[in-house]
């Protein structure tokens, strides 16, 4: 016995864990079996934890090496649509897998437009002397109550995982794909499609009513200029067999609350030869959310800055601020930031189709921008003027000289935007490779 203790003490000098790892005195066969099983389970758990930590480290190391692109711009500038264009261009299989979810979003967008019309009719009917609508319009609105109720049904569906707006407001979801799974597979989403199909004729009758069009014009409501416009496609998007096209998904709108991180892994799609993996960060553009931008400034290699030339509009969240003036302020701040001195900044003048339509309709630029002066009041004249303004701020405020990259885009135009996205991607990776060689 003394010899056995002496051996353990001797071993403990070489291995301090020997005493603790030795079997308990008087251990039975069953106890030994349970002890060894517990030890094996602990070892397996430890290996799994190590594997997770190692995978996390590999992902972090890869993330540090991969190109990271930041999308910046005010709310409604088109960041989400440009992000979808990147998906369509570089990860088309992923894009295809989400069509069922986007069908429900398209229908929600259509319902939102119908609600806008119904609210305008009710407001007109409540006026002391209404002239544009009648009791017939009230009946049409009443017939559409089941369709409008689907907003509440989808809101309730998303409530456990999303930030949602009250009835009549815009549905807002949190980052991630959980909401897409629900919209693609739920009974509530299928029921929304059934209700929309059943009430297709009622919606078309309402939208085709001349009095309704006149009422919207009277109240300065321009549904065609808004994101998620599908009133000219009612029969198509409410058809039971409807599958959203690429253009439909780009036009469809759902608001996201918070920062979205998207990893683009090469799929080997046609036209993407040589494409490397990269990340895109889509950050909120509302004035109250811009403080989060700076936390990404020391991580990115390129910024895509979007601004519509909406000099004739004000911010939705602050009607005292002109949209274009707000974009100019943001542009100067981004260009001047010392953390971004080595970052490519690529300017997108977005939603140019809307500007063209406004100019054709008689919009006078100098009435909103006095410094425009007597320049030609045309698309070419306006874009040239604002391009030079943004170029001058870029040159004047950048901490060190860098190239000025600029594109005119209509993000819902898949063909032209695909070419631009390809060119932007190539330029970003060319610069990244050049810097990697220098390092």
Residue stretches of the annotated binding site for GTP: 76-81, 250-256, 350-353, 411
Superfamily of domain 67-91+265-438: P-loop containing nucleotide triphosphate hydrolases (3.40.50.300)
Show the low-confidence residues of the chain (pLDDT under 70).
Answer: 1-22, 50, 52-65, 161-170, 266-276, 288, 411-412, 414-416, 429, 431-439
Annotated binding-site members for Mg(2+): 80, 256
Residue 437 CA to its chain's centroid (Å): 33
Q: What is the pLDDT of residue 65?
A: 63
Q: Count the residues in the chain.
A: 439
What's this model's pTM, rounded to 2 decimal places? 0.74
Query: Which tens digit of pLDDT belongs to each residue from 165-182?
Result: 545 566 778 877 788 888
**DSSP for 222-265?**
-GGGSSS--GGGHHHHTSTT----HHHHHH---EE-S-EEEEE-
Query: How high is the pLDDT of residue 214?
Result: 94
Residue 224 pLDDT: 81
User: In the chain, which residues fall in CATH 3.40.50.300?
Assistant: 67-91+265-438
Cβ 303 vs Cβ 69: under 8 Å: yes
What residue ranges of the chain are covered by domains with CATH 1.10.400? 99-251
What is the C-alpha to C-alpha distance for residues 407 and 419, in angstroms, rounded to an integer?
A: 11
Q: Residue 277, Cβ neighbours under 10 Å: how many? A: 14
The CATH code for residues 99-251 is 1.10.400
Annotated binding residues: 76-81, 250-256, 350-353, 411
Whole-Å CA distances, 84 to 93, 171, 341:
13, 19, 28
Show the tokens assigned to 362: 């008689």
C-alpha 405/C-alpha 350 separation (Å) is: 14
Q: In the structure encoding, which two tokens stand for residue 400, read together?
A: 């060190």
First to last CA, the chain: 67
């Amino acid at each position: 016995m003394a010899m056995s203790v002496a051996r353990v003490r001797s071993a403990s000098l070489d291995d301090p864990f020997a005493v603790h790892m030795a079997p308990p005195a008087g251990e039975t066969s069953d106890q030994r079996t349970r002890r060894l099983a517990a030890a094996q389970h602990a070892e397996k758990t430890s290996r799994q934890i190590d594997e997770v930590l190692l995978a996390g480290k590999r992902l972090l190391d890869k993330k540090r090496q991969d190109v990271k692109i930041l999308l910046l711009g005010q709310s409604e500038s088109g960041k989400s649509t440009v992000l979808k264009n990147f998906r369509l261009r570089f990860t088309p299989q992923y894009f295809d897998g989400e069509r069922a979810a986007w069908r429900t979003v398209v229908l929600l967008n259509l319902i939102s437009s119908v609600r806008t019309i119904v609210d305008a009719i009710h407001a007109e009917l409540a006026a002391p002397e209404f002239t544009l609508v009648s009791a017939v319009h009230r009946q049409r609105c009443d017939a559409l109550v089941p369709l409008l109720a689907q907003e509440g049904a989808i809101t309730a569906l998303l409530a456990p995982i999303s930030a949602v707006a009250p009835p009549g407001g815009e549905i807002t979801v949190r980052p991630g794909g959980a909401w897409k799974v629900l919209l693609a597979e739920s009974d509530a989403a299928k029921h929304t499609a059934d209700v929309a199909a059943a009430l297709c004729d009622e919606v078309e009758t309402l939208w085709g009513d001349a009095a309704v069009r006149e009422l919207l014009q009277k109240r300065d409501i321009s549904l065609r200029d808004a994101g998620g416009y599908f009133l000219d496609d009612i029969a198509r998007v409410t058809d039971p067999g409807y599958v959203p096209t690429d253009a439909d998904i780009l036009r469809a709108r759902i608001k996201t609350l918070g920062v979205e991180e998207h990893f683009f892994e090469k799929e080997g799609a046609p036209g993407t030869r040589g494409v490397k993996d990269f990340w895109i960060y889509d950050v909120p553009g509302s004035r109250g959310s811009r403080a989060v931008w700076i936390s990404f400034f020391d991580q990115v290699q390129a910024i895509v800055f979007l601004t519509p030339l909406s000099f004739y509009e004000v911010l939705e969240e602050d009607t005292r601020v002109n949209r274009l003036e707000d974009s100019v302020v943001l542009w100067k701040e981004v260009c001047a930031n010392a953390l971004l001195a080595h970052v490519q900044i690529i300017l997108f003048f977005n939603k140019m189709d809307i500007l063209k339509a406004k100019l054709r309709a008689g919009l006078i630029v100098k009435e909103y921008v006095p410094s425009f002066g007597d320049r030609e009041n045309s698309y070419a004249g306006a874009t040239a003027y604002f391009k030079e303004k943004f170029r001058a701020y870029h040159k004047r405020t950048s901490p060190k000289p860098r190239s000025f990259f600029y594109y005119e885009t209509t993000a819902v135009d898949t063909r032209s935007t695909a070419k631009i996205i390809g060119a932007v991607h190539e330029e970003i990776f060319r610069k990244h490779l050049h810097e990697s060689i220098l390092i």
